[in-house]
Amino acid sequence: MSGRAQLMWDEAVTGYDFGPGHPMDPVRLALTRRLVSAFGLDREMEVVGAKPAGESTLRLVHREDYIEAVKAASADPRAADGAYGIGTLDDPAFAGMHEVSSLIAGLSVGAAEAVWRGDALHAVNFAGGLHHAMPGGAAGFCIYNDASLAIARLLELGAERVAYVDVDVHHGDGVQAAFWEDPRVLTISLHEHPRTLFPQTGWPEETGGGVGEGSAVNVALPAGTGDAGWLRAFHAVVPELIADFRPQVLVTQHGADTHFEDPLAHLAVSLDAQRAVQMVCHGLAHEYAEGRWVALGGGGYAVTDVVPRSWTHLVGIAAGREIAPETVIPEGWRQEVFARTRELGPVRMTDGRWPVSFRGWEDGYDPADRLDQAVLAVRRAVFPLRGLLA
């Protein structure tokens, strides 16, 4: 095991572009990469590219007819078949969509391979985390499900236990669906309640099927949940399940759209709380998975103020060079933000809420509190299936 962290990157990922006005603006990727460089983090880790995922790899998760539909729309966007979720308002067809989607998937698969084979202890692909894509269709701004493909590749290489933790504001439905009946994969999603947010799945009662019953975990949080509640829920569920499962690899998805500035959702989480969870995930990888950690990006639509800072913190943690929250952001990066977006960039790597605090579950709960009700629901649904006390 080299112990060296890898940053998966290819400038071509900025071609994942659904067009003007679409919330998933690829400037978020470019600005994250520039901020990583501005802090010198790319000198603390190996920056690595990867080949686009080939068809045999894509078929580990996706149906052949869907892959062919993506390729057809990629060659001629006018040929997009809405039956596959392509050419919709969420997922408009664009020229080259197969190629760039395959590249993002290839980077996540490459990250998984590097970690499993010992070429790196940690690997980050912040262009990845496209967790809504289903085996037979696009959904929620996601064409190919790179997170599922990375996990499937780990299983193909011989992994027997892979844990997936998803803290995007939206339910990690595509990853859950891919491994619904597979006890080798534990999927945990912490998200806004499906009553109030796409994709309207991720209820606590969704616990996996067949021999995989108990391997899907859904923490559905009430709209308006802030730092203290978000961290309380995470700590009340995730560490205990990871300790019980003892994965050989930890794969995490760090969508930044839980933030209070995000325009597409209704949680009220700060950058500082996001950083806190990133640090916990890093610690869980070391405690239970011999350090093997694949960290992915995900959603996030406050593309200048939030996403680059959140994912740069993630890269810094993986590189072993955490950025202190009070750190002033280099002026050169802020100038680039203005040149690209005509917006003023943030000044510091914090929202001013560090250190974040929360009340631990072990201190008791209030059955009348909506947040505690959400935690109780998932513990009662899943923990007994895994032989744990609810």
| Tokens found for residue 59 | 């078929």
Give the Cα separation of 287 and 246 in Å (integer): 9
Whether the CB-CB separation of 204 and 384 falls below 8 Å is answered with no
Longest CA–CA span in the chain (Å) reads 58
Q: Tell me which residue of 228, 230, 208 sits closest to 219, measured CA to CA.
A: 230
Amino acid in position 360: G
**DSSP secondary structure, 196-239, as one string:** TSTT----TT----GGGTT-EEEEEEPTT-BHHHHHHHHHHHHH
Residue 131 appears among annotated catalytic residues? no
Catalytic member of 62, 98, 132, 193: 132
Give the Cα separation of 61 and 65 in Å (integer): 12
278: enclosing H helix or E strand: helix 271-288
Give the Cα separation of 253 and 169 in Å (integer): 11
Catalytic positions: 132
